Amino acid sequence: MRIEIVEGDITGRTVDAVVNAANSSLLGGGGVDGAIHRAAGPELLEACRELRATTLRDGLPVGAAVATPGYGLQAQWVIHTVGPNRHAGQTNPALLASCFTESLRIAEGLGVRSLAFPAVSAGVYGWDARQVAQVAFDAVRSYAARSPEGGVELVEFVLFSPETVAVFRSVLESGF
């Protein structure tokens, strides 16, 4: 499993799946969630509403993940995950690690070979980008060590700002 760091907008990535830093309601929000919904089009919200009306009546729990089609995106799939909200007292790194691990598990089940993650919880949810990078790389590395060959080959971290790119690069180079 290869890890790459990319500066830019995750909605334009040509990967098999992009991960959305959603909220539990799955009904849209700001930040990367809003950008993904705008780029994918209204069918994405319809698919999320359908999930809420059927399998996820109480919403998607923190640390869990669920897939929908990508609709207007280049990516075939959107994998929605809910990061912990530090402002709501959700400070357990295991919850954040679970976002990455569960997204990878869902991706593998869909036959995804390339996957793009945003910096889950590093925006409105208030986590420090350095800690997000450490948790994310650690989760991806542990997942790769357990999973058989032939699954997800490329994991991109697509980061909006040069500052976040610099933080992720330095964590990756330090061996986290």
- Exactly one of 27, 35, 51, 110 binds ligand ADP (CB under 6 A); that residue is 35
SS3 content of the chain, % helix, strand, coil (to 5): 45, 20, 40
Within positions 154 to 173, which residues make up the interface with ligand ADP, using CB under 6 A? 158, 160, 164
| CA–CA separation, 135 and 152 (whole Å) | 19
Candidates 64-72, 104-112, 115-123, 165-173: pick the segment binding ligand ADP (CB under 6 A): 115-123
- How far is it, in rounded angstroms, from Cα 96 to Cα 77? 21
Q: Which is nearer to ligand ADP, 33 or 102 (CB)?
A: 33
Check if 33 is active-site: yes
* Residue that is written with structure tokens 């036959």 in the block: 111
Task: Tell me if 32 contacts ligand ADP by CB under 6 A.
Answer: yes
β-bridge pairing 65-69 and 77-82: antiparallel
Nearest one of 75, 81, 116 to 102, comparing CA atoms: 81
| H helical segments located in the chain | 31-40, 42-53, 93-109, 129-146, 162-173
Residue 4 CA to residue 25 CA, distance in Å, equals 30
Of 133-152, binders to ligand ADP (CB under 6 A) are none
Subset of 62-91 contacting ligand ADP (CB under 6 A): 83
Among 17, 122, 135, 167, binds ligand ADP (CB under 6 A): 122
Q: Which stretch binds ligand ADP (CB under 6 A): 46-54, 55-63, 118-126, 142-150?
A: 118-126
Catalytic residue annotation: 33
Applying CB under 6 A, the residues found at the interface with ligand ADP are 9-11, 21, 31-33, 35, 83, 118-125, 158, 160, 164
